[in-house]
Chains A and B, each alone.
Chain A
């Protein structure tokens, strides 16, 4: 069984020690996904697995056979940037850019969670069917992605424009 990465089937590594992150970067040369802390604390390595955000540094690649992985390289369609990528540019959602691929993949996964009603630490009414991505909700849900440049205001603005104001 293969791992499907951005629409292409890839053989799982024969060495089970290889993380999904190292498979992406070192073997497939998909270097958009970044290695920050390599211990799940910074979120720079966030990718989507069957649409769900995960940190690829703590994922053994062999565990993801049969799954569909989307990295930042897989977000554009026909050469056009994903709307969230456009919004990051528009709102200065980065300075150095190192955390950006993780921020973007995380935000896309996060928007899906909010849409299906997954509660967060700041959700007041647990029985609510839908979540409104307020400023506080959004910041709480994105707390697994650090930005040492401190571009958080731009990141929040970009995500808000893409997933809240656009009514997605």
Chain B
């Protein structure tokens, strides 16, 4: 059976609640799985936007890494658009000034988050993991960071995706779902975000 592979990337203003922005080149299937998993688990419509180059100003040449805090600010300032939240996905290694590397970062209750696939392809022994395991890791990191943008804190219940994971082992141990408590937080936060957005729209329309 021939597979028609339409890119999910939208070349018009996104109408979903969350935009996934590729920062540099990311394979289409990775973007599709990230976008669909966010839509599947959080039940919010998601778009993928065209690729955006990483800002040179965020590059820390001494560490050969990008400063994730700068990337988040870059997304907030330049690519937020009408979406409630923006998730940048990059294959480049990212870190913040204190931590030697991060899988992803978000500002709590912020507009944007960034995840990196750079360290998710290898096992703790440095061997390549399966494609399935790699995709699962990216999905968990993506949902976790988007959860933070909705002001959901770290969770300790079962295998909830909002559980903190400082290592690949911890990332592998948790799952890609929100526990019942985090689901409640999310529903409330989405309601608040939509009310805020509609108030801002009204204000803008009334001049």
Whether chains A and B associate is no
**Could you tell me which B residues sit within 8 Å of A by CB distance?**
none
